[in-house]
Amino acid sequence: MSGSNPELPDVSGNTPVHSSAFRGSDGALRLLLLLSGGGRADPDRQNETGFSALHFAAQEGRPAAARTLLEFGAEAALTNDDGETPADLARANGHQDVLEILEG
């Protein structure tokens, strides 16, 4: 992974961290955050619609990804362009397990 950039976004502004959280690929997410070492992979980076990786984890019901992101300092109160927090998305999509992690 030497020389790769975990912050390089796609056309929608999603980074590999966003994609890993969306898919629930906790191992890949953890690896991206660990290997970035000096803070190169920002768990709070927002895409073009204001979604952070934690927003995706909450919306898609990915509790392991949510835990990992919080462990690496993700901000649970961050809002997207519609003013929604990750907890709002977890609640709206019926992901009680993720909601408990976010509000715990």
pLDDT tens digits, 32-89: 888 766 556 889 999 999 999 999 999 999 999 999 999 999 999 999 999 999 999 9
Whether residue 5 has pLDDT greater than 90? no
Task: Flag whether the pTM goes above 0.85.
Answer: yes
Cβ partners under 8 Å of residue 98, min gap 6 = 57, 58, 61, 62, 63, 66, 86, 90
Helix (H, G, I), strand (E, B) or coil at 30: helix
Q: Percentage of the chain with pLDDT > 70?
A: 89
Second-level CATH architecture of 16-103: Alpha Horseshoe (1.25)
d(CA 93, CA 104): 18
Is 2 or 59 the better-scoring residue by pLDDT? 59
For 23, other C-beta atoms within 10 Å of its C-beta total 15
